[in-house]
Amino acid sequence: MDDRLILKGHEDSYRAIPETDQKITVNKLKMLLPKSTSVRVTEEMVELIHRMEEDSGLPQEQLEEDVLTHMHMLDGMRGVGVKDLINAIKYCNLKRNYDNKVAWAIVFPEKYERLESANKQVDNHVSMYNNNKLVTMIDKEMQIPVYMQYSTLFHAAVKKQMDIMNGKGGKDAKGNDMTVTPMVQHLAAKELTTLLKPPEEAKISINVNPGEAALSAQKEMADQLAQLVVMQRSRLNRGESIIDVQEIGVNFDAIGTNNE
């Protein structure tokens, strides 16, 4: 891989550029198109891809890889084709090196010259293009998470906290070793426990409550039993045999069902 600088002026902005091109052809592009799209692919579009470095000044191999990587975005985007994707890829990479207006002017030189010659507003065109759906989607996918960009700093921060926890405070203006107080050591140790704390296990809390149907069935049963008690007491008061009275005759199968 070729570690060429693709973002100017940033020490941490290196991207691993493929050493060879992607051998892009019409058939290769067609294979990568979403099945649901009716986007057409022509030799003219392949030629546009092959000239991306010439048009933008950015590494051809990286731009080709970006085009292939983002072909899936054409799915469901009405009115957007491969040429639009090529322009958006160039623009999104260029504005990492230049401001939006310069990036737009490089991608659309004829439009830019026409507007400038007519003394017409350019910024509005740039703003609208910068906020269109395809560009914002590509920007989002190209964005590198902060925790990944500064992963090496996390290691350095942990090591620094360990040194402070052990009483090492760096060097003073004369280059002499400094020590830290017990309180500072305590705070460093406390910070380390936060930095290195293992992820907590996710706990699922499930509350099992009876549904409306179950509550209705329980209430119906309770009502029937209450009525039964009253009826049995009345029968016993009338002198009926306790054996006959104990045959309650409750239809438990029917409780909770719709008998309409």
Q: Model confidence over 132-149: pLDDT tens digits?
A: 999 999 998 887 666 665
Residue 94 shares a structural domain with residue 56: yes
What is the reported pTM? 0.54
Provide the 3-class DSSP secondary structure of residue 14. strand
45 with 113, same domain?
yes
Q: Are 138 and 32 within one domain?
A: yes
When divided into structural domains, the chain yields a total of 3
Residue 256 in domain: no
Chain CA centroid to CA 10, Å: 25
**pLDDT level of residue 220 (50, 70, 90 thresholds):** confident
Longest Cα–Cα distance in the chain: 115
Within this chain, do residues 69 and 156 fall inside the same structural domain, yes or no? Answer: no
Q: What is the DSSP letter of 175?
A: S
Residues 74 and 139 in one domain: yes
How far is 3 from 18, CA to CA, in rounded Å? 9
Q: What share of the chain is helix, strand, coil (3-state, %, to 5)?
A: 55, 5, 40
Residue 226 is part of which domain span? 215-249
Same structural domain, 33 and 136: yes
Same domain, 163 and 71: no
